[in-house]
């Protein structure tokens, strides 16, 4: 397949970055393989915020960061870049806005707290794709109400309620049924992860929220230095002064945590994520503060 590259953005270099050697047609099988390849190659990370780098929503800059410098990024970077890749392969993609359910505060964040992708297939079916949510679904989800999707890293579903879609995960983290926002049914506990509608957004619509994520004490990305990547049967995560290893086996999740020193962090990032930061990382792991809704940036 011939690709129409955009300026210095090269599709083949991107595919090499995510170790992808599969088909390049706008099909669900291709989308699934690309999705997994991306999640297992490119980390969700916010370390730019904690080492003095500006995060600018500019496609060539994001491409350079992820492809040439082997970095990761947060949702506004990774999902926009992935959307560009899908567009080059002939997929129909739009950006949509979500509000994340934060387990730390047990409430939803502001609109635009997360950006994800809605992909339309030639069959007319629509699929939710997301390579910028550190602990989300590994395979894309069909936009269908109430369908259980059992994956390596958990069981997920989309639920439609009064025009709003909810992405939920079954028995995630073992929360009790009375946890605010959880939907308990027949002994199962569906834990909310984020909610969204299908209104198409422009990338610039997320500019204010990108700044909010970088500076607000109510935003996870500001409060915690974080880098996380899926691996075949688990996930490896750096956060603050901890390393968290997650293993998925027989439908169960096992997590172990160990401390890491400031001196060990650069070597750990290089060995496990394949990059070196341009300047000193200021590690951070502070509680996320709750704020009133009128303190959130205005969404246009």
Residues labelled as active-site residues:
75, 114, 130
3-class DSSP state of 238: strand
List the one residue out of 297, 290, 287 whose CA is nearest residue 111. Answer: 297
Residue 283 sits at φ, ψ, to 5 deg, of -60, 150
Residue 215 · residue 222 · CB < 8 Å: yes
Residue 37 sits at φ, ψ, to 5 deg, of -60, -40
C-alpha separations of 27 from 19, 22, 119, 121 in Å: 19, 12, 10, 7
Q: How many residues does the chain have?
A: 300
Pairing of strands 114-120, 188-196: unpaired
For tokens 């995510």, the residue is 18
Q: What is the end-to-end Cα distance of the chain in Å, rounded?
A: 38
CA dist 257 and 150 (Å) reads: 26
């Amino acid at each position: 397949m011939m690709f129409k590259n955009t300026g210095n953005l090269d599709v083949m270099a991107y595919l090499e970055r995510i170790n992808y050697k599969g088909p390049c047609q706008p099909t669900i099988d291709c989308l699934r393989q690309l999705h997994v390849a991306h999640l297992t190659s490119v980390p969700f990370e916010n370390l730019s915020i904690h080492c003095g780098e500006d995060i600018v929503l500019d496609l060539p800059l994001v491409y350079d960061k992820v492809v040439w410098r082997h970095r990761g990024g947060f949702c506004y970077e990774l999902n926009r870049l992935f959307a560009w890749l899908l567009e080059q392969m002939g997929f129909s993609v739009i950006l949509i806005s979500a509000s994340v359910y934060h387990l730390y505060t047990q409430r939803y964040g502001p609109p635009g707290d997360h950006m994800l992708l809605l992909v339309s297939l030639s069959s007319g079916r629509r699929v939710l794709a997301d390579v910028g949510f550190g602990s989300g679904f590994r395979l894309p989800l069909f936009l269908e109400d109430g369908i259980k999707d059992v994956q390596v890293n958990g069981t997920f579903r989309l639920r439609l309620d009064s025009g709003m879609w909810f992405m939920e995960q079954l028995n995630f983290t073992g929360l009790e049924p009375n946890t605010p926002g959880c939907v308990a049914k027949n002994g199962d506990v569906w834990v909310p992860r984020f909610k969204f509608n299908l209104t198409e957004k422009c990338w610039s619509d997320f500019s204010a929220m990108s700044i909010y994520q970088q500076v607000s004490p109510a935003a996870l990305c500001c409060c915690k230095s974080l880098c996380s990547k899926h691996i075949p049967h688990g996930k490896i995560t750096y956060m603050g002064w901890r390393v968290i290893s997650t293993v998925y086996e027989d439908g169960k999740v096992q997590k172990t945590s160990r401390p890491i020193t400031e001196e060990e962090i650069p070597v750990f990032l290089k060995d496990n994520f394949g990059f070196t930061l341009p300047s000193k990382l200021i590690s951070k792991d502070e509680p996320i503060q709750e704020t009133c809704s009128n303190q959130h940036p205005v969404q246009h």
